[in-house]
Amino acid sequence: MSTVQLSVREMTVRFGGVVAVAQLSLDVTGGEIVALIGPNGAGKSTAINGLSGFVPVTVATMSVRFGDDVVDLAPLSPPQRSRLGIVRTFQTPRLIPELTVWQNVAMGSVAGDVRRRWFEMLGGPGLSRGARDRRDRAVTALAALGLDRLAQDNPGELSLGEQRLVEIARAMVSGARVLLLDEPFAGLSSVEQRRLADEIDKLRAASVAALLVEHNLELVRSLADTVVAMDQGAEFARGDAATVLDSHEVRERYLGEVA
């Protein structure tokens, strides 16, 4: 499989007079986990929204490279980006209440009209071979997160932490090449956090490029290859996890500590 790389240069996002993201540049390569950290309001989620096409941005370049092929992301809608394999999760899980847990996972990143057809296929009386394969993949992804016992439940019966894990399982089965994870550990128990950290760690072996927005700095330390620290929209530190997390600027500006 060709190596994937998400690249953005000088991305700025404004909401009226507020500059939520200022001139952010990033590369995330397959097999690598890049973490975006910073205090509340730093612009981390907005950066993910900009990369996935959910908010308008001004940008010098924003592209994804698959081997020798480069695709310009700037003109693409969120569903088009998702079909390219750029898949995101949300702080508040977005699961479809009418479907069971495994059906939600099997939906993967299918969008628009295709999504409607899947509704019909998944809801039918007997499962075709293709649908059985999709169900098996979904249940396997749920099992990796310790959730296979919930496969037949409705999302509404799940805790927030479980819903968040189901969303991750859905992203995993969607064939994602670039995964944008917005605070995936929030609301999880420590057991769930460990399971999820193991699964995120495995993305490296699957050559997925992962961008992780996360407040839990110990999880960031254990998972990230590169950490980018932001405050008030702008990057103020970047480097390997230990160097950035132990730096004076991060301890002072992010943790409120004065060395």
Ligand X SMILES: Nc1ncnc2c1ncn2[C@@H]1O[C@H](COP(=O)(O)OP(=O)(O)OP(=O)(O)O)[C@@H](O)[C@H]1O
**By CB under 6 A, residue 44 contacts ligand X:** yes
Closest of 108, 119, 85, 102 to residue 209, by C-alpha: 85
What is the per-residue burial (b if ≥16 Cβ within 10 Å, else e) of 159-177? eebbbbbbbbbbbbbbebb
Compute the least distance from the CB of residue 129 to ligand X, in Å.
42
Residues between 2 and 41 with contacts to ligand X, criterion CB under 6 A? 15, 18, 20, 38, 40-41
Among 18, 20, 21, smallest CA distance to 10 is for 21
Task: For residue 139, give the nearest of 129, 150, 130, 128 by alpha carbon.
Answer: 150
Least Å from the CB of residue 64 to ligand X: 22
Alpha helices in the chain (DSSP H): 44-52, 78-83, 101-107, 112-123, 129-144, 160-173, 190-202, 217-223, 241-245, 248-253
Residue 45 binding ligand X, by CB under 6 A: yes
**Closer to ligand X by Cβ: residue 70 or 255:** 255
Size of the site for ligand X (CB under 6 A): 11
Tell the smallest beta-carbon distance from residue 215 to ligand X (Å).
6
Distance CA 163, CA 127 (A): 25
- The residues with which 33 forms a beta bridge, in sequence order, are 210
Is residue 150 within 8 A of residue 142, CB to CB? The reply is yes
46 makes contact with ligand X (CB under 6 A): yes
Of 95 and 229, the one with the shorter C-beta distance to ligand X is 229
Q: How far is the CB of 15 from ligand X (least distance, A)?
A: 3
Among 43, 53, 85, 161, binds ligand X (CB under 6 A): 43
Q: Per-residue x/- marks for ligand X, 71-110, CB under 6 A?
A: ----------------------------------------
Q: Enumerate binding residues for ligand X (CB under 6 A).
A: 15, 18, 20, 38, 40-46
